[in-house]
Amino acid sequence: MISSLIFVNAHSLYLFDISLDFDKELKSNVIEEAQKFLNAKKKPLGFDLDKGLIIVHFEPEQRNYVEINPLGYEVYGMRNENLKHKTVTKKLTKEQGIDIAKKFFNKFPDKIKSELKYDPDVSEVDSTYFYKWFRYVNGILVVGEELMVNVDAFNGNIIAWRLSIFDYPKGSIDAVPAISSSIAKKVAELSFNAPLVDSFVPYLIINIKEPVWVIKLQGEFYPYFVGVSTKDGGISFTGTLPGEVPKGYNVGNEIQIVETELIKQIYASKWEK
């Protein structure tokens, strides 16, 4: 049951205050692993669910929590505001902060590290630095799957980190597009009867497990994104992007198109008509 719950919500919105009472063993294991990570025996205040990870809260207002992957009961993230600076003494540079974040990154298994690529665009919020690694398969961004490491700019503590669950292994993802970006643009235009944003260059992402062309249309009041499946031309998503895309990312138009039998049949039936 938990497997179905995790799969359904893997790319859904954050769910607050979930109950684990339906599976006593699951609840016990999740709590035990979170307590072991914190080296403490205090009881959690509650649980949330975020893209498959169970968040175990030990303080209110999301100040101290541990994120557990219920498929294996491994720690996939944490946040502890108690590790944050209390007084301003010395501020680390972003370069010093990345050294701390990279040492942490290097602790992960090679299988995970090999699919993550560091993003040089570092944001700073409330005197803490956010470093990110995005997942790529065959050079294409797997949207919504990344590692974040949050380093305090004053004391160098890692106050938070989070590794997304990789929904599908690399070997099960077919990243080769079967339709071109020009076809995808036409599909988006016709599907929504809206014009393209002229300055926008389509790019490829992998959404869950399929490659998708990202198109931008001009709506009546504001522009919005449309994801067009490169495998069958279906609409994968509309509105906002299903995850963060690094600045300057433009992969796709240089990748060779390999038409599938389905696409060939669609083209053939069109010409027959």
- From 32-46, 137-151, 214-228, 258-272, the region with the lowest mean pLDDT: 258-272
- Cα separation, 81 vs 242, in Å, equals 28
Does the pLDDT value for residue 270 go beyond 80?
Answer: no
Whether the per-residue pLDDT at 8 is higher than 50: the answer is no
The CATH class of 87-169 is: alpha beta
Confidence of residue 258 (pLDDT cuts 50, 70, 90): confident
Is pTM beyond 0.85? Reply is yes
**Is the confidence at residue 28, as pLDDT, over 70?**
yes
pLDDT at 273 over 60: no
What's the rounded mean pLDDT across residues 40-46? Answer: 95
Distance CA 112, CA 133 (A): 11
pLDDT tens, position by position, 55-80: 999 999 999 999 999 999 999 999 99
Q: Tell me the CATH class for 181-272.
A: alpha beta
Task: Provide CB contacts within 8 A for 69, sequence distance 6+.
Answer: 52, 53, 54, 75, 76, 165
Q: What is the mean pLDDT of the chain?
A: 91
Domain ranges in the chain are 1-83, 87-169, 181-272
- What's residue 6's pLDDT? 43
CB atoms within 10 A of CB 218: 14
- By three-state DSSP, how is residue 44 classified? coil
If one compares 3 and 19, the residue with the highest pLDDT of the two is 19
Instruction: Indicate if 181-272 has the same CATH topology as 87-169.
Output: yes
Percent pLDDT > 70 in the chain is: 90
**Range with lowest mean pLDDT among 31-45, 49-63, 76-90, 107-121:** 76-90
> Does the pLDDT value for residue 264 go beyond 70?
no
Burial class (CB in 10 A: 0-12, 13-18, 19+), 204: buried
Local confidence band at 237 (pLDDT 50, 70, 90 cut-offs): very high
Confidence of residue 267 (pLDDT cuts 50, 70, 90): low
